[in-house]
Amino acid sequence: MRFPQDWYGGSTAAGLKPSGRPDLALLVSARPAAWAFAGTLNRAAAPSVQRGRALYAQAAPLRALVVNSGIANCATGPQGVEADRRMAELAASRLQISPEEVLTASTGVIGVPLPLERIEEALPRIELGEEVEQFVEGILTTDTRLKLAEAQIGPARLVGFCKGSGMIAPHMATMLAYLVTDAAIPQAELRRGFSKILEESFNQVSVDTDTSTNDMAVLLANGAAGPVEPSQFWQGVRQVAISLARQLARDGEGATKLLTVRVRGARSAEEARRAALAVASSPLWKSAAYGRDPNWGRILMALGKSGAEFDLFKVTISLQGHLLYAGAPLPFAREEVSRSMEAEEVVVEVDLREGEGSGEAWGCDLSEEYVRINALYTT
């Protein structure tokens, strides 16, 4: 997939990852870009997220992004803040721009200092090109696949890419997500619109209910293709963000399938999203989905713990298109429904029958492999 106009990226192996895979990536715009940003709500936010917030408050345009994907540089003391600043300076120096035009991001192990000399040595080696994959390969950790999406918006293009597969829960996931476009959008509008998109996309993904210290989602617009029609633009952003959110959930650590939950009939959209996310992130429903067990009682349990308003004698629950509960249990062909759960995507549809609010959330099933991956991550 090609970047939009005047965007370039690349990556290299700086030796931060023991595996020797690419772990240092650079994304550059040939012209100043307007940007919208959201960082993790985790109170133990890493220096990169804190620096991103400070730059965001200044509201000047961005030119570049430097990402390392081996070391989170979180909880590394005051020297970690300095190391993050230094990483921005090194990237700015290579690109002949100001450090304030460079956003940093880190992901990986918490509590390990960033080896700046390796970053300094590797940065000049990054070849910048027009293929998105060249950049994205440098930001992956336990991901098993590339996560990309694109949209054409009038004369402009939007390309989205992200990494993330564990420690993923709302606000944000262990997730670095970037949406870059050559559309020209005023920064104020970009920022206003992005937060609503986040509510319906990245904040509706859960792999394990754990929230990373290093997450961020960024939307960047460099204007190279000129102005676009706003409603068309936001439709494109929404579509790309939701595609990435679904790809994140599907690639959850140890996942064998994507769990999609659609709730309608809630008192509000917020309540519908909350109810959908409670189901998508319930360990018991996730385990049942893994075992192809049409155990709708666990769906009902998760709806009940979400706090969303509903009446046990009115709510309806469908699984893979089979209506299993409508105020009371319905008879169903257990074998057939179980077989339908062998699909790559398992869809739950709920009608709370209280109002007009609807919302969607995405998760993944819980397998023994999730435990294995996470029992042996640092040792």
CB atoms near residue 229 (< 10 Å): 11
289 vs 256: CA distance, rounded Å: 9
Q: Can you tell me whether residue 196 is helix, strand or coil?
A: helix
349 vs 266: CA distance, rounded Å: 12
Nearest CB to a copy of itself, comparing residues 27 and 46: 46
Per rule CB under 8 A, is residue 169 in the interface with a copy of itself? Answer: yes
The interface mask with a copy of itself, positions 229-268, x = CB under 8 A, is ----------------------------------------
The interface mask with a copy of itself, positions 44-83, x = CB under 8 A, is xx--------------------------x-xxxxxx----
CB 121 within 8 A of CB 21: no
Nearest CB to a copy of itself, comparing residues 100 and 293: 293
Which of 211, 194, 356 has the alpha carbon at shortest distance from 281? Answer: 211
Which listed residue (9, 10, 99, 166) binds a copy of itself by CB under 8 A?
166
> In whole angstroms, how close is the CB of 123 to a copy of itself at the nearest point?
25
Between the two ends of the chain, the Cα-to-Cα distance in Å is 36
Which listed residue (243, 295, 316, 340) binds a copy of itself by CB under 8 A?
295
265 vs 242: CA distance, rounded Å: 21
Which listed residue (327, 339, 342, 343) binds a copy of itself by CB under 8 A?
327
Both structure tokens of 57: 């408050």
Nearest CB to a copy of itself, comparing residues 146 and 284: 284
Bridge partners (DSSP) of residue 183 are 226
Q: Where are the beta strands (DSSP E) in 49-95?
A: 62-68
Q: Can you tell me whether residue 162 is helix, strand or coil?
A: strand
The interface mask with a copy of itself, positions 332-371, x = CB under 8 A, is --x---x---------------------------xxx-xx
Nearest CB to a copy of itself, comparing residues 231 and 379: 379
Residues in contact with 265: Cβ distance below 8 Å, sequence separation at least 6, in sequence order: 272, 350, 351, 352, 353, 354, 355, 356, 357, 358
DSSP state of 218: E
> In whole angstroms, how close is the CB of 370 to a copy of itself at the nearest point?
7
Which listed residue (127, 309, 342, 356) binds a copy of itself by CB under 8 A?
309
Specify the stretch interacting with a copy of itself by CB under 8 A; choose among 16-24, 54-62, 128-136, 320-328: 320-328
3-state SS, 40-74, equals CCCCCCCHHHHHHHHHHHHCCCEEEEEEECCECCC
174 among known catalytic residues: yes
> In whole angstroms, how close is the CB of 69 to a copy of itself at the nearest point?
16
Residue of 174, 181, 213, 260 marked active site: 174
Residues 100-129 that bind a copy of itself (CB under 8 A): 109-112
> In whole angstroms, how close is the CB of 315 to a copy of itself at the nearest point?
8
327 vs 314: CA distance, rounded Å: 4
Which listed residue (7, 8, 325, 362) binds a copy of itself by CB under 8 A?
325
Specify the stretch interacting with a copy of itself by CB under 8 A; choose among 128-136, 154-162, 223-231, 287-295: 287-295
CB 45 within 8 A of CB 213: yes
Catalytic residue ranges? 174
